[in-house]
Amino acid sequence: MIAKVAVLGSPISHSLSPKLHNYWLQKYNIEGKYYAMETKAENLYKTICNLEDRGFVGVNLTVPLKQEILNIIDDIDEFSRKISAVNIVIFKNGKRIGFNSDSYGFIENLKYGIKLYNCCEIENYLDKVVVLGAGGAARAVIAGLIKCGAGEIFIANRSLDRAINLVDDFDCDNLVVSPWEERDNLLENTGLLVNTTSLGMVGQPDLNIKLDKLPNNALVTDIVYNPLDTKLLITAKSRGNKVVDGLGMLLFQGQMAFEKFFGVIPDVNDDLRNLMI
């Protein structure tokens, strides 16, 4: 039987996941099909039941369903529970098993980007990290950074209480909450600056931040990939910082998802990046 998977979310028409997974399916000669299905939160349970009945292997979840799905799954690993967001569900033996691959995607993308610069290891940038945002994406990013042994991680978010909740949930001494208004000043001695907010994305306002205090040897990364060169990355690059764009995070989270769905670890390389742009 043909292996079927869908990505669920709303809006979904812009999703690059079908192009990515269907490319890999063809490349690795796997008899499968990956669909995009517009799904609003109120229809999620019904849709999941329907896809299970139709013999789907599993689903990917995107905005706004990554937290909603937590109420519907039977099992989740400890790491994804901490992030409290699930972007992969596998249907297996009558159970729905949830995973988060955004964290993996973020870290692998950083490593890939650093390697392109032919320079030092990721650990060299992690003594002091500044994360902008405290939503679901920030949780995945922060979980990955902690796993990589990051030192102090400062979290600046427009809504302070959301950042405080995040820190409470993670219960990790390395996390420090900072007011959004302090974001320019936080950059002193920072090795890595990460934007996890939606600011800078097409249709959204730009991220407003002054990089004057950021060391020139710091690394700057944005999880926004549309556009690929956000204003943040352009400004950082112009003052000599190394930058890593957000496209690879999508590709690497897809890599882990593809392995769970289809049992093959697909290759992520520059050809794939060019195909997806």
Per-residue burial over 77-96, b = 16 or more CB atoms within 10 Å of its CB, e = otherwise: eeebebbbbbbbbbbeeeeb
Through-space distance between the first and last CA atoms of the chain, rounded to whole angstroms: 32
For the CB of residue 120, give the shortest distance to ligand ATR in the complex, in Å.
29
d(CA 103, CA 101): 5
Give least dist CB 65 to ligand ATR, A.
Answer: 10
Closer residue to ligand ATR in complex, CB, 25/137: 137
Question: 101, 190, 197, 255: which one contacts ligand ATR (CB under 6 A)?
Answer: 197
Shortest distance (Å) from residue 89 CB to ligand ATR: 17
Q: Which residues contact 152 (CB under 8 A, 6 or more apart)?
A: 127, 128, 129, 174, 176
- The answer to whether 261 and 267 are in contact (CB under 8 A) is no
**Part of the chain binding ligand ATR (CB under 6 A), chosen from 28-36, 198-206, 232-240, 250-258:** 198-206
Enter the tokens of residue 229.
């060169």
- Pattern of binders to ligand ATR over 200-219, x per CB under 6 A? -----x--------------
Residue whose token pair is 């690394």: 219
CA distance 176 to 61: 29
Choice between 196 and 242, CB closer to ligand ATR: 196
Q: Which of 66, 82, 128, 260 is catalytic?
A: 66
- Chain residues 117-176 in contact with ligand ATR, contact rule CB under 6 A: 133-138, 157-159, 162
- Closest distance of CB 146 from ligand ATR, Å: 17
What residue ranges bind ligand ATR (CB under 6 A)? Answer: 133-138, 157-159, 162, 196-199, 205
Catalytic site positions = 66
